[in-house]
Amino acid sequence: MVKQPNPARRSERSRQAILTAARELVSEVGYAKLSIEAIAARAGVGKQTIYRWWPSKGAVVLDAFLALSESGPEDSMTLPDTGDLEADLKVVMRATVAEFADPAFEGPIRALNTEIINDPALAAQYRARLAGPVEEAKRARLRSAQRAGQLAADADLDLALELLYAPLYQRWLFRSGPLTPAYADALVEVFLKAMRPDVDQLTDAQDSAKLEKSG
């Protein structure tokens, strides 16, 4: 049986120093050239202290970025919901495009994705603590749209999210094309065309929604 360290005695000072050092070093030398040794040296920490609390380099880096996003006031997040799905989605997608263009964002996130692809355990962590909440917020907005009759009521929301985001994400990840606001808009438009309710599936909810608009 493996000896388990006692988390109660963990040094918060060391933990912070390690996460900060990891963040800095990822920006400076890139993820591939990042070494545990360098993190320990920069943090003024023994290597064992890192190995004691994290299973892998990827886990440290993941934690380093989680610490950033979790430091915000609330952990939950919501997407804009003005009632105009197309406008709302375009705002969100254009924001995503802008975020991907930020060079400070580039390196670390690309690195994290690399690790996640090859390490299912890390991927689970990532989904649970970073991607999950975001995905749920997106799903919530789509559900709202379904209630408003702007989206097929029987649409598979997982598939819908993939349809909307995967093209964008793939273009960024593999640099397979330009990421522009126009592209974001085009994606939203084609997504809405794919997901709009069929004419013969109009429900009362949709009827009343239509009446509200025309009225």
Q: Which residues bind a second copy (CB under 8 A)?
A: 31-32, 110-111, 113-114, 116-118, 120, 123, 127, 156, 158-159, 162-163, 166-167, 169-171, 173-177, 183, 186-187, 190-191, 193-195
Those residues with Cβ within 8 angstroms of residue 127's Cβ, 6 or more apart along the chain or in another chain? none
Residue 163 binding: pick among DNA, a second copy, none (C-beta 5-8 Å cut-off by kind): a second copy
- Of residues 17 and 160, the one with the C-beta less far from DNA: 17
> Is 5 near DNA (CB under 7 A)?
yes
From the list a second copy, DNA, none, pick the one residue 35 interacts with, judged by a Cβ distance below 5 to 8 Å according to partner type: DNA
C-beta closer to DNA: residue 44 or 181: 44
- Kindly identify the residues of this chain, within the stretch 11-50, that bind DNA according to CB under 7 A: 11, 13-15, 17, 33, 35-38, 43-49
43 vs 164, beta carbon nearer a second copy:
164
Residue 177 touching DNA (CB under 7 A): no
| Minimum CB–partner distance for residue 34 and DNA (Å) | 7
* Three-state DSSP state, 165: helix
Q: Quick one: which of 160, 157, 186 has its CA closest to 171?
A: 186
Asked if 59 is part of the footprint of DNA (rule: CB under 7 A), the reply reads no
- Burial of 166-191, coded b for 16+ CB within 10 Å and e otherwise, reads ebbeebbeeeeeebeeebbbebbeeb
Nearest approach, Cβ of 179 to a second copy (angstroms)?
A: 12
Cβ atoms 160, 151 nearer than 8 A: yes
Q: Note every long-range contact of 104-111, with CB atoms under 8 Å and residues 24 or more positions apart, other chains counting.
A: 104/27, 107/26, 107/27, 107/30, 107/31, 108/23, 108/26, 108/27, 108/31, 108/61, 108/65, 110/31, 110/173, 111/26, 111/30, 111/31, 111/32, 111/61
Among a second copy, DNA, none, what does residue 46 contact (CB within 5–8 Å per kind)?
A: DNA
For DNA, the binding residues (CB under 7 A) are 3, 5-6, 8-11, 13-15, 17, 33, 35-38, 43-49, 51-53, 56-57
